[in-house]
Amino acid sequence: DNDLDLHGKGAQRRLLWQLTSRFAVERDLTIEDGRICWDATVPIPSEEHKVRRWPPITMHDPETLALIDGFDLPPWPENLVM
C-alpha cells in the first residue's frame, strides 16, 4: 500500500526485484489509472504442492550465502516502509 518514487535512489533496482521475484506476472500484475500494481501476497502455484508456502523460504548452500552477503546493496528507498 506504499507509493514508490520511481526516480528515488535504488527504486528501480528494488522494483525490478519485486517484479521478477515476488509474484506471477500473468496473474497478479495490473495497471490502473497510470499506476502499476502488483499483488505479492498471493501464493504462486507449485508443481509439488497446490500453492507455494507463504511467506516464501529460500534455501541456499553456504557458498551462495557467502556470495550474497558480499553484495554492496543500496538501501531501501526512504519512502518505503519495511
Compare 23 and 6 and report the one with higher pLDDT: 6
- pLDDT, tens digit, for every residue of 35-66? 777 666 655 565 665 555 555 556 678 888 88
12 φ/ψ angles, rounded to the nearest 5 degrees: -65, -35
Residue whose cell numbers read 498471493: 42
Domain segments of the chain as ranges: 11-69
Per-residue model confidence (pLDDT) at position 35:
78
- Name the grid cell of 33: 489509472
Query: What are the distances in angstroms from CA 61 to CA 14, 21, 66?
Result: 24, 19, 9
Compare 43 and 12 and report the one with higher pLDDT: 12
- Mean pLDDT, range 9-38, rounded to an integer: 70
Compare 82 and 10 and report the one with higher pLDDT: 10
Evaluate if residue 69 carries a pLDDT over 70.
Answer: yes
Distance CA 24, CA 45 (A): 9
